[in-house]
Amino acid sequence: MEKEEFMQRAVELSFKSMAAVKGGGPFGAVVVKNGKIVGEGHNMVTSTNDPTAHAEVVAIRDACKNLGTFQLSDCELYTSCEPCPMCLGAIYWARPARVYYGNTREDAAEIGFDDAFIYEEIPLPLSERKIEMIPLGREEAQKAFQFWAEKEDKIDY
């Protein structure tokens, strides 16, 4: 398959999202390895009541499950729209080699999917964000971090 065919599949999945009962937004994504689709996803936010079930996240989860790995460094992601900040974070954690996208975030904003406010929140100091961020229990939480730092059989990622 060619790049355009992978993008076409991502677009097809965006239509699948909208056609589903309680369908989500018009977003679809595929993960490709060695010229084959290894993971697919479409927006499932409203059908699963999961605000993290964006097409890219669903496709990444599917690909990781199918490949038995938590990193997709030898893969490519094709998505029908430029990833939102959450998906961008998931993409960086999954580490694909590259991302191809169809619509832009400006296109998404024009139809009511405006994530500009999140991009604006990220660089703000915690004290200036719209959602209050309150430190609590750091001393106790540090015990888990200390255990991890000393753990000899951990899998780094």
Active site residues: 56
SS (H, E, C) the chain: CCHHHHHHHHHHHHHHHHHCCCCCCCCEEEEEECCEEEEEEECCHHHHCCCCCCHHHHHHHHHHHHHCCCCCCCEEEEEEECCCHHHHHHHHHHCCCEEEEEECHHHHHHCCCCCHHHHHHCCCCHHHCCCCCCCCCHHHHHHHHHHHHHCCCCCCC
